[in-house]
Amino acid sequence: MLDRYLNAAVLHDLKNRLAILSDELTKLGRLDLPAQAHSHARQAHEQAHVLTRKLVEFLTAQQASEAGGLRAAAAEEVPEAMLQDMHSEAQMLIHGGLQLQLEIAAAVPAFWFFDQHLVRLALDSALYNALRFARSRIVLGLRVEDGQLCFSVSDDGPGLQATPAHNSTGLGRLVCDEVAKAHRNKGRSGRSVLRNHADGGAVFELFLP
């Protein structure tokens, strides 16, 4: 029991210190420095962000493995606004000719009940995978299908069969599944899907009841 609490304390401390490091690197990037220094600061900031995300995923997976599993603290949220925020924040991660687009269906309700923290964790994981493999475009989507709200992240990369798996822990995929299952409503559970896109590339979908 002591080991479990000690591990959690150390991980949370690391997460907080990474947040401080990320904030300091952001401030560094705003200074009047040579372009090469800005490039190194940006890359360091991105790595700190990835490490923070991995730690949060690990803590979430650890929580899901405990008695009672992962629980969603669902509240009334504005799904379109959340996706808009995600799009804006992700712009700083886009380099070169990569485009980040939004596709929001007209019939999406103004409000939906879900745990925004957990949903963002799953979508951020999917977005980082898309950033690794996209050739020119990533699309963040939002629609309603079969009475469920569906967030999606698609890319125009090589698709799932061509995606190297040897350097993946599978942690992000596990967390996405647990986040989906933690959302329940009227006897239905959420689900996550990772598949090849009909037009090429891969698409991740998170369905919330």
Judge if 187 and 123 occupy the same domain. yes
Quote the domain boundaries for residue 202. Answer: 75-208
Specify if 70 maps to a domain: no
Q: How far is CA 152 from CA 123, 125, 128, 198, 203, in A?
A: 8, 12, 13, 14, 7
Instruction: Output the pLDDT for position 4.
Output: 53
Q: Look up residue 170 and give its DSSP letter.
A: S
Contacting residues for 110 by C-beta, under 8 A, at least 6 apart: 78, 80
Specify if 11 maps to a domain: yes
- Give the length of the chain: 209
Among 123, 112, 130, which residue's Cα sits nearest to residue 56? 123
Judge if 105 and 6 occupy the same domain. no
Judge if 56 and 79 occupy the same domain. no
Judge if 29 and 128 occupy the same domain. no
pLDDT (tens, 9 = 90+) of the chain, 209 residues, equals 445 555 656 666 776 777 777 777 777 777 787 888 777 877 776 777 777 777 777 777 777 777 777 888 999 999 999 999 999 888 877 766 789 999 999 989 999 999 999 999 999 889 988 988 899 999 999 999 999 999 999 999 998 876 555 455 688 888 999 999 999 998 999 999 999 988 889 999 999 99
How many domains, in total, are found in the chain? Answer: 2
Instruction: Output the pLDDT for position 1.
Output: 41
Please, how many CA atoms are within 13 Å of residue 21, restricted to the half-sphere of its CB? Answer: 18
Contacting residues for 48 by C-beta, under 8 A, at least 6 apart: 18, 21, 22, 25
Among 117, 126, 103, which residue's Cα sits nearest to residue 177? 126
